[in-house]
Amino acid sequence: MKAHHPPLQPSAESRLGSRRSGPSRPPYNPGLQKLVAGKQAWAEPLSDEAKAQGFLGWHQRGYLPHCDFPGVTQFVTLRLDDSMPASRRSEWEALLHLEDKRERRTKLEAYLDRGFGECPLKQPTIAELAENTLRSFDGQRYRLQAWVIMPNHIHVLVDIWQTPLAEIDKSWKQFIARRVNRLLGRAGRLWEREYWDTVIEDEEHRRKAVRYIEANPVKAGFMHEARDWPWSSARFRDEYGRLPEPDGRSGAPVSKPA
């Protein structure tokens, strides 16, 4: 299946920087619904087995389009709830209207690198917790190709097997949020509800995604060499650029996410 990341619609993303308190239903977004319906029309249908496993194919939850199929590799960005503050909307809202989808995605992620919000992920204990959480089921439910923990967001390149991406995302976020709230004595939502996902199309696309993810701390000005960042897959790569098999890792949390 060849999939392309759809453009991010301004109407779908307009609430990405705002805090929403309490449970709420996704907004009615006809433009997003039309976009997803078009993707569904040409995409390879889900098998009965994939449907039984909980995969949704192309779908939306009122804010962004998502591609949810087994057997694909996804570039995923998870960001903290206050990383694009509503109080600074004038700075980031114009980025949502950029026509070129790659430019839009790149500039939005560059905005994240400015480090707005409380940034608890910059604390070593919490960054280690987040990294270990990602790695807990590596080789069991999915296969990590690359990752990096940044102060207010996380990038992950992951092979999706028989567990839907939305379920993986929820498991990561819930486990990390519970631990972070406990460690910091805080309450409330830690993560932005939505995640950004891009399906990897071919090997060249995969290599570019790995470089982009692992170079993020360098681009943000934290390090001169990607492998020097202590919460990234870059430091594990051998001389051929390969990651070790996941069962050879260490430092996984004592309690794993559900």
Percent of the chain topping pLDDT 90: 47
Predicted confidence band of residue 54 (pLDDT cuts 50, 70, 90): confident
Distance of CA 164 to the CA centre of its chain: 13
Which tokens sit at 244?
Answer: 């070790």
What is the Cα–Cα distance from 127 to 119, expressed in whole angstroms? 10
Q: Which of 62-71, 85-94, 170-179, 244-253 has the lowest mean pLDDT?
A: 244-253
Rounded Cα gap, residues 252 and 247, in angstroms: 10
Q: Which helix (H) or strand (E) holds 129?
A: helix 124-135
Query: What are the pLDDT digits (tens) for 68-102?
Result: 778 999 999 999 999 888 788 777 777 766 656 67
Q: Which residues contact 63 (CB under 8 A, 6 or more apart)?
A: 12, 13, 15, 16, 26, 27, 29, 32, 193, 194
> How many Å apart are CA 251 and CA 230, to the nearest integer?
13
Q: What is the pTM of this model?
A: 0.76
| Dihedral sign of CA atoms 160, 165, 167, 168 in order | positive
Rounded to the nearest 5 degrees, what angle is found at the Cα of 256, between the Cα atoms of 199 and 174?
65
Q: Which domains are assigned to the chain? A: 10-17+28-213 (3.30.70.1290)
